Structure 1
Amino acid sequence: MDKRHALYSWVRNNPFKVDLIATGLLFLAFGPVYLLADRPLLFLLSCSLLVPLAWRRIRPVAAAGAIVVVCLVQWAFAVEPVVGQLAVPLVIYAVAAYGPAWASRSVLALGVVGGVLLTTRYFTSPSESGILGLSIGVLYTVLIWMLVVVSWTLGDLTRVRRLQLQALEDRTRRLEIEQHQERLLAAADERSHIAREMHDIVAHSLSVIITQADGGRYAAASDPRIATETLKTIASAGRSSLKEMRRLLGVLRSDEQASTRPLPGLADLDELLLGFRAAGLPLRFEQSGTPRRNLPSGAELTAYRVLQEALTNVLKHAGSQAKANASMQWQSSGLRLEVTDDGHGAAADTATGDGNGLHGMGERISLYDGSLEAGPAAGGGFRVSAFIPYTEA
């Protein structure tokens, strides 16, 4: 099935090569007949009619013009019909299918006129007169007209189908662009909405905390019990703010319930890797270098999520026999993470996802001025490489 689709795609994308091959086959099929019969003039005439067929789709008007000129010369000098005459219905079909509308109508009219000229020149005999001769001429003319009309009709149907397919392709392309823009606008609107809610919560909570802290600081000098009550109020406001922020951030993920456990970091990598090995993924992990200083907790969470997402993609998409290698290297300027596999490609299906996967990795890393590289590995499989600098954005 894939080979057939590939062949169809090549034929569709290379019309000149296909027509050139077809013209060459026609030469091989009909050219030697006249050479073996020692009739070089008819061979040249046949070649002159067949050669323009190589341009019948990319230059249909020029090909039709060349064939018309050859036919007129043949008619003027009363040269007998040749095998190359089959180029006439082929070029009528090509102009009707691929040429402009005016050229399509013109070849139809020329075909009708040419049928009459061909009949009067070759298919009527001076010895046959009266009703019999007229009947034979009319019969040949009608047969030629039928061939012309059928060729033109098939070409016109091909033109209609081609224009319909092109319109559908254009519409599909526009719909994809519109859907992409709608997703971007929806995501921007949701981010703006969440940002406003978080701003309101944080601003209100911090205002309460700052006010209580300033008041408690001055009141503590005269009555330490007021300071104790003030600290309780501050703690309560902080907990309430944290709870609301967790609720808002929780809706950004598909989890049914936002987790209340501490956020993971690099210290939890052993547990993460153990889970993937238990799931059946052959995994090799290497760690090298010494950190110059600790990464912020958010950067550690980003590193954890990058490894988690990359290994999850390996488990999902790389195939049942795939093996993975993960490494964490501390460099002078930051942390380098790399995950490779020898399977079918760990991110084969993430491009059509809903914002997670590689896109989610890139967003996380960009918050800390990091970089992400993902793509097919040189020796096969897939490779994800991320770098997180020490400086926090």
Structure 2
Amino acid sequence: MFRPISRTWLVLDIVGALFGFLITTPLTFIAGANWLSAWIDVVPAAVTMYAIVGLILWGAAAVARLSPALALGIAWFGAVVQMTAGLPPSAYDLGILVVLFATGAWGSRRILWAGGISALVGGLVGGLYFAVIWSGELLTDAASTMRAALIGSLMAAVFVLAMVMSWGTGLLWRVVLNGRETQVARAQAELLAAEEQERVRIARDMHDIVAHSLAVVIAQADGARYAAAAQPEIAAEALGTIATTARGALSDVRLLLTQLRHRQGTGPQPTLADLETLFAQVRQAGIEPRITVDPMPPGEPPGAIQLAVYRILQEALTNAIRHGDGAVDVHLAWLPDRVEVRVGNRVSAASAPHAGGHGLVGMRERAQLVGGNLLAGREGEEFVVRATLPIVGAQA
């Protein structure tokens, strides 16, 4: 029944309706001067009726935004009072147009169509009322009857046109408001999608960095613990590797947090030049990577491809450290239109990476982001990661 509107709009509507009443009331008296002269003995009663009808119609306009249904009912009541009192159509009827606009703009679906029907019926009734009441004294012959009918038809057309235009303008405003709400909802959905993608990217980068660094740290710590008694120098070397790896991971995490805080993703990212450092960390963790690059890159690959290759190798080698048994084979083939990556290492059935783990999901996302694909799974006694990344598509 009542729409939730701000107090500011309610106050503005009430003030606007009061202003409309104060403006149209003098115009109503001026237009009805001849009618008042016929009521010379009861002018105070006539003025009172004018004021009552004006208050009813503009009172409906005051609550039109708050409750279009209530305003429509009050407007019909005011129109009935006006016709019962025999008052002519005048300036105070502008309040009806305000109500019809409100039904088109803010009314429910039922009130919307009720307003449209009211515009048609009200216009026809107004024309009939004008013809019968105000031309009734002229109906003395066929000519006067025809003249009254023509006047009534003309006034009905004018009333219907004015009322339908007011209702149609409200309907147009409803379309505008719905379009704005749709745009706002679309913008919010796009913002949420962008934020979700950013969270996924940060989580993926965090996993790649932290998981790899912790795998190296754990492997070195285990080796240092076993070698501490017999070969203290190896333990010291392992501790140095742990410190270096931890510092690098801390630096990368700080970079990711800075990007997250400033909503930027343009910070320095790993490239092919950093692969040697990655392989060195794997060696220090006790896993020997056997690396084959054939053919070599024909030029400088795009930055997105370099980052994807680095992160895929990083996660695959991390899995080799965690679940592998011995050496790991790394093969890169830099073809003119694509790069093919293969990483394989021996694993036991109990220690193979889980297909639904975050690391495998992150590698697939890395490949998909540059238009490629990635497959990972057991092949005999090995766990193999295969990725194909298109170079031409990434450049485009």
> Normalising by structure 1, what TM-score?
0.51
The Cα offsets for residues 134-176 of structure 1, whole Å up to 9 and x where unpaired, read as: 3421331122112212222222222222211331233234234
Secondary structure of 1:14's aligned partner: helix
CA contact (8 A) 1:16 1:55 kept: no
Match of 1:18 among 13, 16, 19: 16
**TM-aligned CA distance change 1:29 to 1:109, over 3 Å:** closer
Alpha-carbon distance in 2 for matches of 1:120, 1:86: 20
CA change 1:74–1:107 in 2 (3 A) is farther
**In the alignment, which residue of structure 2 is the partner of 1:109?**
121
Partner of 1:231: 236
Write the deviation string for residues 284-337 of structure 1: whole angstroms up to 9, x where unpaired: xxxxxxxxxxxxxxxxxxxxxxxxxxxxxxxxxxxxxxxxxxxxxxxxxxxxxx
Matched, 1:50 2:44: no
Question: Which runs of structure 2 are paired with 1:161-172 in the superposition (5 Å)?
Answer: 161-172=172-183
Percent identity between matched residues is: 9
Separation of aligned partners in 2, 1:107 and 1:207: 80
For residues 171 and 201 of structure 2, the distance between their equivalents in structure 1, rounded to whole angstroms, comes to: 44
What's the CA shift for 1:29?
Answer: 5.0
Q: Match for 1:209: what amino acid?
A: Q
CA distance in 1, matches of 2:202, 2:267: 20
Query: Per-residue displacement from partner, 1:32-54 (whole Å, max 9, x unpaired)?
Result: 99799882122112112211222
Of the candidates 178, 197, 222, which is equivalent to residue 211 of structure 1? 222
1:193 Cα shift?
2.0
Residue 120 of structure 1 is matched in structure 2 by 132
Which whole-Å CA distance do the structure 2 matches of 1:93 and 1:55 have between them? 9
Mapped contact 1:97–1:159 kept (Cα < 8 A): yes
2:25/2:92 contact within 8 Å kept: no
Residues 25 and 91, structure 2, Cα contact 8 Å, conserved in 1: no
Q: Does the 8 A contact of 2:128 with 2:152 survive in 1?
A: yes
- Give the Cα–Cα distance (whole angstroms) in 2 for the partners of residues 250 and 18 of structure 1: 58
> Can you list the C-alpha shifts for 1:175-214, whole angstroms capped at 9, x where unaligned?
3442343244334423432342234223212213312321
CA distance in 2, matches of 1:127, 1:31: 27
In structure 2, what is the Cα distance between the partners aligned to 1:60 and 1:86?
Answer: 18
Other structure's SS at 2:229 match: helix
Deviation at 1:11, TM superposition (A): 6.1
Whole-angstrom CA distance in 1 between matches of 2:203 and 2:138:
91
Residue of structure 2 in register with 1:153 after alignment: 164
User: For residue 39 of structure 1, what is the aligned residue in structure 2?
Assistant: 43
Structure 1 residues 352-393: Cα deviation after superposition (integer angstroms, max 9, x where no partner) = xxxxxxxxxxxxxxxxxxxxxxxxxxxxxxxxxxxxxxxxxx
Give 1:139's aligned residue.
Answer: 150
Question: Structure 1's 93 and 244: CA in aligned 2 closer, same or farther, altered over 3 A?
Answer: closer
Contact map agreement 1:209 1:234 (CA 8 A) in 2:
yes
Q: Which residue does the alignment assign to 2:255?
A: 250
Deviations 1:253-303, CA, capped at 9 Å, x for gaps = 346448xxxxxxxxxxxxxxxxxxxxxxxxxxxxxxxxxxxxxxxxxxxxx
Helix, strand or coil at the partner of 1:218: coil
Is the contact between residue 221 and residue 242 of structure 2 (CA under 8 Å) also seen in structure 1? no
Cα distance in 2 between the residues matched to 1:30 and 1:156: 23
Say if 2:223 and 2:238, in contact at 8 Å, map to a contact too.
yes
CA distance in 2, matches of 1:15, 1:127: 44
Match of 2:390 in 1: none
**Structure 1 stretches of 5 or more lacking a match?**
1-8, 76-80, 220-225, 259-393
CA contact (8 A) 1:50 1:87 kept: yes
154, 178, 185: which is aligned to 2:189? 178
Question: Using the alignment, how far apart are the partners of 2:234 and 2:177 within structure 1?
Answer: 74
Name the amino acid aligned to 1:148: F
Q: Structure 1 169/26 Cα, relative in aligned 2: closer, same or farther at 3 Å?
A: same
Seen in structure 2, the aligned counterparts of structure 1 residues 125 and 27 have a Cα distance that, compared at 3 Å, is closer
Task: Check the 8 A contact 1:64/1:92 in 2, yes or no.
Answer: no
CA drift of 1:69 comes to 2.1
1:201 aligned to 2:216?
no
- What letter matches 1:40 in structure 2? P
Aligned runs of 1:293-372 on 2, under 5 Å?
Answer: none
Amino acid at match of 1:169: R
Following the alignment from structure 1 to structure 2, what is the Cα–Cα distance between the partners of residues 256 and 190? Answer: 13
1: CA distance, partners of 2:187 / 2:10? 23
For residue 218 of structure 1, report the CA deviation from its aligned partner.
0.6
Q: Is the 8 A contact 2:127 2:156 kept in 1?
A: yes
In structure 1, which of residues 190, 200, 211 is the aligned counterpart of residue 201 of structure 2? 190
| Residue of structure 1 in register with 2:373 after alignment | none
Q: Give the Cα separation in 2 of the matches to 1:179 and 1:213.
A: 50
Distance 1:64 1:48 in 2: 12
Structure 1: distance between partners of 2:247 and 2:206: 15
Structure 2 residue aligned with 1:332: none
The answer for the alignment partner of 2:394 in structure 1 is none
Determine if contact 1:23/1:50 at 8 Å carries over to the other structure: yes
Amino acid at match of 1:14: L
- Alpha-carbon distance between aligned partners in 2 of 1:31 and 1:122, rounded to the nearest angstrom: 17
CA contact (8 A) 1:116 1:141 kept: yes
Distance in structure 1 (CA, Å) of the matches to 2:253 and 2:19:
65
2:318 maps to what in 1?
none
Asked whether the 8 Å contact 1:108–1:152 carries over to 2, the reply is yes
